[in-house]
Amino acid sequence: MVCSHILGFPRMGAQRELKSALETYWKSASEPDDTNPDLEKLVEMGKQLRAAHWALQKKAGQDWVTVGDFAYYDHVLNHIQLLGCEPARFGFKKDTPELERYFAMARGSLTVESGQAMSMTKWFDTNYHYIVPEFFPETCFALSSERLFDEVKEAKALGYPVKAVLLGPVSFLYLGREKADGFDRLSLLPKLLPVYRQILSRLHAEGVEWIQIDEPVLGLDIEDKWLAAFRDVYQELSREPVKLLLTTYFSSLAGHIDTVCSLPVAGLHVDAIRGAEDLKEIATKWPADRILSVGVIDGRNIWKADLDKALAVLRSPGLAGRQNLWVAPSCSLLHVPFSLDAETKMDLRLKQCLAFAVEKLEEIHALKDALVKGDAAVADALESSRRTVELRKGDWVHNAQVAKRVNALGEGIDRRKSPFDVRQALQRKRFRLPAFPTTTIGSFPQTQKIRSARAAFKRGAMSEADYRQSMQDEIAYCIEQQEKLGLDVFVHGEPERNDMVEYFSEFLEGMAMTVNGWVQSYGSRCVKPPVIYGDVSRPKAMTVEWTKFAQSLTDKPVKAMLTGPITILQWSFVRDDEKRSVVADQIALAIRDEVADLEKAGIGIIQIDEPGLREGLPLRRRNWREYLDWACRAFRIASSGVEDDTQIHTHMCYAEFNDIMPDIASLDADVITLEASRGDMTLLKGFKDFSYPNEIGPGVYDIHSPRVPSVAEMVGLLKQAARVIPADRLWVNPDCGLKTRQWKETYEALDNMVKSARLMRETV
Ligand code: GLN
Ligand code: ZN
């Protein structure tokens, strides 16, 4: 029988109701009061959202509703409680309520000294962050939460057939971290498995037939011991009387297909978008009498599907006529916005081309109906899909001039005129900076006043002239502060920018913003990525006026701020009808033109931020080379069109570069600034081992906290840095931009930073 289902749904609600409920609760929870009515409201909101999301699944003809994908903060954190491995360092008392412990782990607890929030990291290559489980040799597991079973009961009470979802035991261990030396978290498996069995058995007792067990690590380059663990684990779990749908996503299963197909599970889900290349092999190797769930609707992007193409996949040899085929999105819909309904301001052509979570449910529905009842039964959906395919061929998407320019990109387009040492000498002559030059990463505090002015202008409540005046006032203030501090290279402070990608997307042709396209990033935090729908070009200068104005106020060099092509690409929803490398080239050319205009306006130092470069690395190492080649080239296209004495900076955050050092060096930026203070400069080792040739500014203070670091502390870090990097190539700067900070702490910290640089100068 052909069925359809989804792997998970966005949690926040159509209007981010969960965000509001969470933030209201957190605010009131921090005030001393025994009864917290906002907790009840939060719990009630959770219940309402689950019910609403199940109703949507049901309405769209899904054969089950998916239960267990909801989380107040993060689904991995749900599992930490379900499996009873909350870190002992929080010292929770027996009677501390579950949700209180939950938020203490997520956000930190003030009641104990060791109550720092658990760390978060990116969920595979998405922009979603999960809470990292902490493991010790003595970690024990025990079924410790009723939440999942309660939610199953909730769905059953509403009359829905339920498929429960769990993160599988191998992935759960793999995604955690060892917090003690000399032990391997995989060794915890024998202690963990009995709890999983218990959970399966409980779900069975609740009347759940199917359990979706997510093992996304099967799509990574995992070591053999992890791969081998799968056999034993699933042998063991198969002894429970439930049906397991082993679920993989985000990647090809290459190299692991034989293992996967040998596991004794009743069903398998594969990502037919990212793992399209595997389908043929899986169709032959996966037994025909078992369920195969094929993820043909892209859960990572927002484009309306080409239903003919999806049907062709579902009807390809090996899949056609399968008795046990399920139609699904490639992965959880957590990574796309809720629904298009709220997009009232969007260009209608673009809107016709998009499908958010709710619309994707309908696409799945249509595919199932086409397979079951024939294409005629879904003629309207097919017709609309075909219209969209045609629409996207139009000239509102394609710009012949842009295509021509990209095609004509020649060999030397990504090279500076002269090698670094020649440029360095010319730049030294031009700027005459002291040793250990001081600078910042770009943004200064975004005060309420700045935000209100921007919002008022956007609403139409402030005239263009008034807006310009208020931004110029902010820039002038920023320059004045930098003069007082005695910094060497200034910035304008970025008051006019809401976000470093959104700002540029508003200028660039081929990019658009949504009004409500929010996607969960972590906890209650959501991001609204721009949409790259067409060939990208730059109709007019984007930053020149502000930078020029700032430069007119001072004799010190003002460093211009741009966002790099890969970061713009990485933090947007990107069109799926063009290669990413081509889109990167298009954005690179737009930035290159901006760089040229800045240079023409007399700006001598230009920073191109690329915090997204490292995070764009593909999940599988075999795909790294290709990505790094085009990504680094795009950066160079953007940055290399300048004279030798124009200084190019780049900036990257929280990055581990050891494994891609040659590529970082290949960017050939004159100066690279990095987030380094929290790692005690250990990051620099890679630069030293590689003999990184250009100048480096390792961040000397953490901008994530309001704490003002002392001069001694920063001198300490600088001395450490000077031990690995020749002093005449070191810059002094904070870890990242200062926009989330207050002015008071910013001023004090920068003051200490400038003093540290002066002390360092005396040592050389
Ligand atoms: N120039 C940006 C800023 O200072 C850089 C932000 C970032 O690296 N994430 O805000
Ligand atoms: Zn940064």
List pLDDT tens digits, range 145-154: 999 999 999 9
In this prediction, residues 111-124 reach a mean pLDDT of 92
Nearest atom, ligand 1, residue 442 CA: 4
At 543 the three-state DSSP class reads coil
DSSP one-letter code for 534: E
Per cent of the chain over pLDDT 90 is: 94
Residue 739 near ligand 1, beta carbon < 6 Å? yes
Within 53-173, strands assigned E span: 65-67, 120-122, 129-131, 134-135, 162-167
Q: Which of 441, 482, 559, 615 to mutate to test the pocket of ligand 1 (most atoms within 8 A of CB)?
A: 441
List pLDDT tens digits, range 501-515: 999 999 999 999 999
At 394 the three-state DSSP class reads coil
Q: Per the structure block, which two tokens stand in for 187?
A: 């060794």
| CA 439 to centroid of ligand 1, rounded, Å | 13
| CA 651 to centroid of ligand 2, rounded, Å | 6
Q: Which of 558, 651, 673 to mutate to test the pocket of ligand 1 (most atoms within 8 A of CB)?
A: 651
Position 34 scores a pLDDT of 66
Position 175 scores a pLDDT of 98
In this prediction, residues 118-134 reach a mean pLDDT of 95
Residue 698 phi, psi dihedral angles, 5° rounding: -75, 125
| Residue 704 is a catalytic residue | yes
Indicate whether 1 pLDDT > 90.
Answer: no
Position 655 scores a pLDDT of 66
Indicate whether 33 pLDDT > 80.
Answer: no
Q: Report the distance separating Cα 216 and Cα 620, nearest Å.
A: 13
Which residues partner with 164 through β-bridges?
67, 211
List pLDDT tens digits, range 424-456: 999 999 999 999 999 999 999 999 999 999 999
Task: Return mean pLDDT, the chain.
Answer: 96
16 annotated to bind ligand: yes
Tokens 């498995």 found at? 193
Residue 561 near ligand 1, beta carbon < 6 Å? yes
Instruction: Write the burial class of residue 510 (CB in 10 Å: 0-12 exposed, 13-18 middle, 19+ buried).
Output: buried
Position 316 scores a pLDDT of 96
Residue 441 near ligand 1, beta carbon < 6 Å? yes
Q: Which residues contact 473 (CB under 8 A, 6 or more apart)?
A: none
Indicate whether 158 pLDDT > 70.
Answer: yes
Residue 302 near ligand 1, beta carbon < 6 Å? no
| CA 610 to centroid of ligand 2, rounded, Å | 8
Indicate whether 21 pLDDT > 80.
Answer: yes
Tokens 């990647």 found at? 251
Position 676 scores a pLDDT of 87
Q: Report the distance separating Cα 547 and Cα 624, nearest Å.
A: 36
In this prediction, residues 375-394 reach a mean pLDDT of 98
Position 653 scores a pLDDT of 87
Nearest atom, ligand 1, residue 443 CA: 4
Q: Read off the pLDDT band of 171 (50, 70, 90).
A: very high
566 annotated to bind ligand: no
List pLDDT tens digits, range 311-342: 999 999 999 988 899 999 999 999 999 999 99
13 annotated to bind ligand: no
Helices (H) and strands (E) in the chain, counts: 28, 22
Helix, strand, coil % in the chain, rounded to nearest 5: 45, 15, 40
List pLDDT tens digits, range 642-698: 999 999 999 998 767 889 999 999 999 999 999 988 777 888 888 999 999 999 999
Where is pLDDT greater, at 35 or 554?
554
Nearest atom, ligand 1, residue 441 CA: 4
Q: Which amino acid is at 121?
A: T
Q: Which amino acid is at 645?
A: D
Position 110 scores a pLDDT of 86
In this prediction, residues 581-605 reach a mean pLDDT of 98
CB–CB of 259/282 below 8 Å? no
473 annotated to bind ligand: no
List pLDDT tens digits, range 186-240: 999 999 999 999 999 999 999 999 999 999 999 999 999 999 999 999 999 999 9
**Number of Cβ atoms within 10 Å of the Cβ of 108:** 12
Residue 557 phi, psi dihedral angles, 5° rounding: -70, 135
Q: Report the distance separating Cα 12 and Cα 71, nearest Å.
A: 9
List pLDDT tens digits, range 279-319: 999 999 999 999 999 999 999 999 999 999 999 999 999 99
In this prediction, residues 744-752 reach a mean pLDDT of 98
